Structure 1
Amino acid sequence: MSDAKISEANWNQLREAANTAMKKAYVPYSKFPVGAAALTEDGRIVSGCNVENASYGLTLCAECSLVSELAMTAVVGKGPAKLIAFTCVDGHGNILMPCGRCRQLLFEHSAKGMILETVSGFKTIDEVIPDAFGPRDLEERA
């Protein structure tokens, strides 16, 4: 998978979905809304926003709610579709890089070669979390 296979129209749709999700963020403490959106291998767009909590440590990142939507919209018995393209924005629509925890979460649900729009351009999931360990490793070692 390369960014050449994801059209500019797809990226525009993802950015729009991420910005829409960002506007729904619950951020009474940090005042830092985040929205995320991803394209699945079956052509759907899933999105999420951050949801803060007074205990801070229980705050959910936008990527967490995106993956929750991915799971909740999966075909029963088939499991969630894999993610092929991802973007994340702040309250001004600027591109954000997912934190390390969220990169691992995205890796878990990514198709091989998933493309992320990052602050330094388009990168594959393997570039943003090199030598990651995930479900493909477990399948290969079974």
Structure 2
Amino acid sequence: MSAPDEALLAAARAAADAAYAPYSRFHVGAAVRAEDGRVFAAANVENASYGLSLCAETNAIMAAAVAGVRRLSAVAVVGYRAATPGEPVLATPCGRCRQVINEFAGPDTPVTVQSAEGSETLAVTLGDLLPHAFGPERL
């Protein structure tokens, strides 16, 4: 795996700071890079009806999709607890987000998850995160 995409991680980190997370107080930012190089970043947005909350990864990918993106070349995620922002936390994508990423990326797409202060990094491929994925090719 190549070196982490620092620009993508910086975009994810900035998005995490903009999260709307009054209930969990857990901020997550995600940034995705389209194959054409454009970057889309977003944060988690919570709702009092918890099931209506949206994850950062899904928000970033939907913004990219609305802009016409159909393939991603990289994904970055940064998260932290608002009460303890310096405490290292790796906010790996949830199962739903892994499936959403899979819709627009292949198994070799790099996914980098980093703690807010940058002391911990997980650099894997989507195939590592979601082995035996179900995708459009199975329909």
What TM-score comes out, normalization by structure 2 length? 0.82
- Note if contact 2:106-2:127 (Cα within 8 Å) is conserved in structure 1: no
- Note if contact 1:84-1:113 (Cα within 8 Å) is conserved in structure 2: no
RMSD: 1.9
**1:126 Cα deviation after fit:** 1.1
Q: Which residue of 1 aligns with 2:46?
A: 52
In 2, Cα distance between equivalents of 1:81 and 1:73: 9
Question: Which of 78, 87, 103 is matched with 1:89 structurally?
Answer: 78
**1:36 Cα deviation after fit:** 0.4
| 2:64 counterpart of 1:70 | yes
Work out the number of aligned pairs and report it: 127
1:81 is paired with a residue of what secondary structure?
Answer: coil
In 2, Cα distance between equivalents of 1:136 and 1:15: 30
Q: Which residue of 1 aligns with 2:132?
A: 131
Aligned AA (2:30) = A
1:34-90 CA distance string (max 9 Å, x none): 10011111111111100000010110000111111111211xxxxx23111111111
- Note if contact 2:20-2:44 (Cα within 8 Å) is conserved in structure 1: yes
Structure 1 window deviating more from structure 2 (106-115 vs 43-52): it is: 106-115
Distance change in 2, residues 1:45/1:95 (3 Å): farther
In 1, Cα distance between equivalents of 2:27 and 2:91: 11
**1:112 Cα deviation after fit:** 4.7
| 2:31 counterpart of 1:42 | no
In 1, Cα distance between equivalents of 2:135 and 2:30: 21
Q: Which residue of 1 aligns with 2:103?
A: 108
Sequence identity (%): 40
- Note if contact 2:111-2:125 (Cα within 8 Å) is conserved in structure 1: yes
Q: Which residue of 2 aligns with 1:98?
A: 93
Distance change in 2, residues 1:41/1:136 (3 Å): farther
Distance change in 2, residues 1:24/1:121 (3 Å): closer
Aligned AA (1:102) = C
Provide structure 2 residue ranges, at least 5 long, that are not aligned to the other structure. 115-120
